[in-house]
Chain A
Amino acid sequence: MTSKKIINKMTDSIDPSLFEFADYDESKSELTGYSNYSFWRSTFQVFMKNKAAVALLILITVVVLFMVIQPYIPGQKSPTQIYINPETNLQYRNVQPNGEFWFGTNSIGQDLWARVWSGARTSLFIGVAVGLFEAVVGITIGALWGYVRRLDAIITEIYNVWDNIPTTVVLIILTYIMKPSISTIIFAMCMTGWLQMARFVRNLIMIIRDREYNLASRCLGTPTSRIIAKNLLPYLVSVIMLRMALAIPAAIGNEVFLSYIGMGLPLDVPSLGNLVNEGRALIMDPNQRYQLLFPAVVISVVTISFYVIGNVFADSADPRNHV
């Protein structure tokens, strides 16, 4: 039997010490309210958990670094010079990969190793330039389109028209009207590429623009530009990064496509598209297939890396995936 304590009055059972004022203690208050959450550090942590992406990131960093310093390494051959065999005075045509020509030579005696790296530089430059332009223009127009209601109808109409002109037509006519060069190609791709980005940003902004905190901001008189920049865009970081990362493989693919239909860069500018095209002409000869395989491998490494890194980074930049 447990002994029962008899309470005469209700107030007797209350411990008076519970009702004393606590002293203010800084360290204790930080235990509950303080969080050391940081967006970029969490993003980094989540990203590092994906082993494949980290491996590809290291790989692509090494490849890009090598791409940049390759022409400055002593003993490298020129990508455009035609090499002539001193004994026979003939060009080194279609030489198989060997000690001197690491990736062999092409049909007029140029060094494929140097051409592959030079081509990769050109293509990557196009990709990055297009990606950046798409991001800037796409975000600006997308944000205005989604946020400013008065512009909605006009931009939607422009979008409908522009989107209904086949991309091929725009790409080809622009490269036709302007002279074929790197800047022409970049311009043509930018003209068609920003549409997707703009629509994407617009749809996202439509979703979050009427949330309560934006309503509150607007009531307090925050200017539109500030609402867009401070309240909306941070939400979009992950998708924007994804789109930019995907724009690089897409631009490389477009360059290959334009070269394939004969509207690419001039032949004396080595680019991955031109190299694939040169290699394509020789695939029927099993001994010459290396001329296609080497550029193909480099293209695959670059595009797959950017694709995977972009996707994984977008996932890790999404706050919902943070711990």
Chain B
Amino acid sequence: MKYYVTRLFRSFLTLMIVITIVFLLMRMMPIEGYFGSGFDKLDAGQIEAKLKNLGLLDPLPVQLKNFYINLLKGDFGKSITYRPKVDITKILGDKLITSLRFGVASLIVSLILGLSLGILMARYKGKFWDKLGTCYVVGANAVPAVIYYLLIQVFFTDIFKLPLLFDKSDPKSWILPILCLSLVNIAYYAMWIRRYMVDELNKDYVRLARAKGLKNKSIMIRHVMRNAFVPMAQYLPASILYTVAGSIYVESLFSIPGTGGLLVTAIQRQDNTLVQALVLLYSSIGILGLMLGDILMAAFDPRIKLSNKGGSR
């Protein structure tokens, strides 16, 4: 318990440093960015008035202090340029849920397909299925994703008569985005479970189980798979949480109103408050996901102890 408290505290410190760095970085951007296209037409007085309004003319420590105080009140502030004067939480709410839906759906698809492909590959190691699967994994990992996304969007819509863009009322328009989102993850899970199974099947406890006369199936289910869940348990919470970050490629290609391109747009348009909120969100998700994963892993596997007591080093 004490371990988690210290860890939470340290994570909080890290988070503060991260957000401060991003805060300072955003203040290094040129001031033209806050005005959009009409910058040339404004005179110096107008520029100063707007900057003052945004609180950008205060010295940096004061700006930082105001920011922290608002943050402690749970107030992320209002958007500056993205949708001026709208609350950040309001902008984020719907988008997060849309991205989360797509992300979780694709995660389920990729878990099912990826694990089956990986098990198939391990079963026929060195044979046709293994080679085909390896080709797929190499392709999915090496080639920049946008290239096969584009090809999928262009050719699959023609061949299977699927809608080109996302449409809330049309369930068929979910298929291609989810497929695109899953491709890399399928490769990841397939490779991981394949390597895991190949390693594991040579270990002593599997030999012992076989010597006891256990059937292959029950060795797989009761011994190998149960062990396989341990690293999985550590990885899953983070990957579920991370889906709210969306995918910039898929969401822009299929015009899904998610969070995917939001960070990029926010930085480009210098919407400081939105950037800070997003960075804070993503970083805490990263930290939280890792911690949840550790807790879950320790729950699954009683051998794992997280505190430093009694370890060899």
Residues of A within 8 A of B (CB): 157, 160-161, 164-166, 168-169, 172-173, 176-177, 210, 249, 252-253, 256-257, 260-263, 276, 280, 283, 289, 292, 296, 299-300, 303-304, 306-308
Contact = CB atoms under 8 A, between A and B. Distances in A.
- Most A CB atoms within 10 A — which of B15, B29, B143? B143
Given A165-B22, A304-B139, A256 B264 contact: no
Contacts of B147: 256, 276, 296, 299-300
Nearest to A165: B18
16 contacts: A157-B14, A161-B14, A161-B17, A164-B286, A168-B248, A169-B263, A172-B264, A173-B26, A176-B268, A252-B144, A260-B146, A276-B144, A292-B150, A307-B141, A307-B142, A308-B138
Contacts of B268: 172, 176, 261-263
Given A160-B14, A256-B146, A283-B154, 6 more contacts: A161-B18, A166-B283, A168-B263, A172-B264, A253-B145, A257-B144
B287 interface: yes
B267 interface: yes
B146 A304 contact: no
Ranked nearest first, the 5 interchain pairs of A and B with the lowest CB-CB distance are A307-B142, A253-B144, A303-B142, A164-B283, A256-B144
B143 A177 contact: no
B150 A283 contact: yes
B25 interface: yes
A252 B15 CA distance: 31
Contacts of A262: 268
Contact of B28 (A164, A177, A252, A283): A177
Contact of A165 (B154, B279, B313): B279
A44 to B, nearest CB: 22
Given A169-B263, A176-B267, A161 B150 contact: no
A256 B148 CA distance: 13
B29 A176 contact: yes
B146 A166 contact: no
B248 A261 contact: yes
Contacts of A263: 264, 268
B21 A161 contact: yes
A164 B278 CA distance: 12
Given A164-B286, A176-B267, A169 B143 contact: no
B282 interface: yes
Interface in B258-280: 261, 263-264, 267-268, 275, 279
A261 B261 contact: yes
A256 B283 CA distance: 25
A146 to B, nearest CB: 13
B154 A307 contact: no
Contacts of B22: 165, 169
A190 B255 CA distance: 31
B174 interface: no
A292 B282 CA distance: 33
Nearest to A303: B142
Contacts of A160: 14
A210 B17 CA distance: 33
B97 to A, nearest CB: 20
Contacts of A306: 142
B279 A166 contact: yes
B144 A299 contact: yes
Contacts of B17: 161
Contacts of A157: 14
Contact of A304 (B142, B151, B264, B287): B142
A177 B147 CA distance: 28
Interface in B124-155: 138-139, 141-147, 150-151, 153-154
A289 B155 CA distance: 11
B249 interface: yes
Contacts of A303: 142-144
B299 to A, nearest CB: 24
Contacts of A304: 138-139, 142-143
A289 B147 CA distance: 12
Interface string B207-240: 0000000000000000000000000000000000
Contacts of B153: 283
A252 B147 CA distance: 12
Contacts of A161: 14, 17-18, 21
B154 A289 contact: yes
A165 B264 contact: no
Interface in B2-29: 14-15, 17-18, 21-22, 25-26, 28-29
A166 B19 CA distance: 11
Nearest to A306: B142
A249 B142 contact: yes
A143 B282 CA distance: 29
B230 to A, nearest CB: 19
B261 A165 contact: no
A203 to B, nearest CB: 13
A1 to B, nearest CB: 47
Contacts of A249: 142-144
Contacts of B141: 307
Nearest to B29: A176
B142 A168 contact: no
Contacts of A176: 29, 267-268
Nearest to B131: A52
